[in-house]
Amino acid sequence: MDLARAADFIARAVRTVALTGAGISVPSGIPDYRSANTGVWENYDPMAVANIEAFRRDPAPFYTAYAALGRALLVARPNPAHVALARLEQMGVLTAVITQNIDSLHQAAGSRTVYELHGNLRGGACLACRKRVAFRPLLERLVADEELPVCADCGAVIKPDVVLFGENLPRQTLMKAAASAQFADVCLCVGTSLVVYPAAAVPLETLNGGGAVIIVNREPTPLDREAAAVLRGDVAEVLPALADAVAERWDGSLQDAGSFDTY
């Protein structure tokens, strides 16, 4: 059974990292981006609304698209899958969470070492004067009144700390994520299609380093054949069951390997 096999791999590992995609937050009410009929990009062309050059020319289409997503983000709470990963970290099993998500639900669930490859919505900056701001109040006003987020000092548009198409991923975050995956014994991929790079290269770092990949996803991924175990189903059900199975096998004898925040 793949659940038992996956639990065996994780319980024996010195370092396990998790790579998470939009699928882990779907049970929290946040739509993913590419699913048929429900994905965010079903109604919007990502290159037209979520491209940095398009944003600089006219941020209104971006904020129109993100107003709908913002409603879900403002009320979303961690689901059992987020909690299961935080539990594995607290046990000393999980070294880090590497996420493509911008919703901060891993931190809300209690995860401490989280590498956000695509940024987050906690903060933002003025494109003109570079003033830093907390973004949640601006998101609340956008959702409530369709008020475009602008700088209180100079009136220019505020850009949230999310990585748009045409922008580089945060270099230090990417380096830490790659290093943690490279030296991991197991990379646990949860709710990600593994088709969007450079995030999709994270489990390849583990495979190239001699580690194993475990996949928890509803749909097939390009790495299924390379995976040591593939678990299908609702991540909010599968991950808690996997965490329970790991806890039954985990004796705590392996020292916590720590994160790469100091590397």
User: Which residue spans within 117-211 are E strands per DSSP?
Assistant: 119-126, 132-134, 158-162, 186-190
* 2-12 and 235-249 helices, crossing angle to 10°: 50
CA distance linking residue 32 with residue 217, whole number of Å: 13
Active-site annotation holder among 15, 82, 118, 176: 118
> What is the three-class DSSP state of 251?
coil
Tokens found for residue 247: 């806890």
Instruction: Give the contacts of 81 (CB within 8 A, at least 6 positions apart).
Output: 24, 27, 190, 191, 235, 236, 238, 239, 240
Identify whether 82 is a catalytic site residue: no
CA 263/CA 245 separation, integer angstroms:
32
| Strand order through the sheet with 229-231 | 114-116, 94-99, 16-20, 186-190, 212-216, 229-231
* DSSP for residue 240: H
258 dihedral zone (left: phi>0; alpha: psi -120 to 50; beta)? left
Task: Count CB neighbours of 240 within 10 A.
Answer: 16
- Where b means 16+ CB within 10 Å and e means fewer, 200-225 reads bbbbbbbbeeebbbbbbbeeebebee
Catalytically active residues are: 118
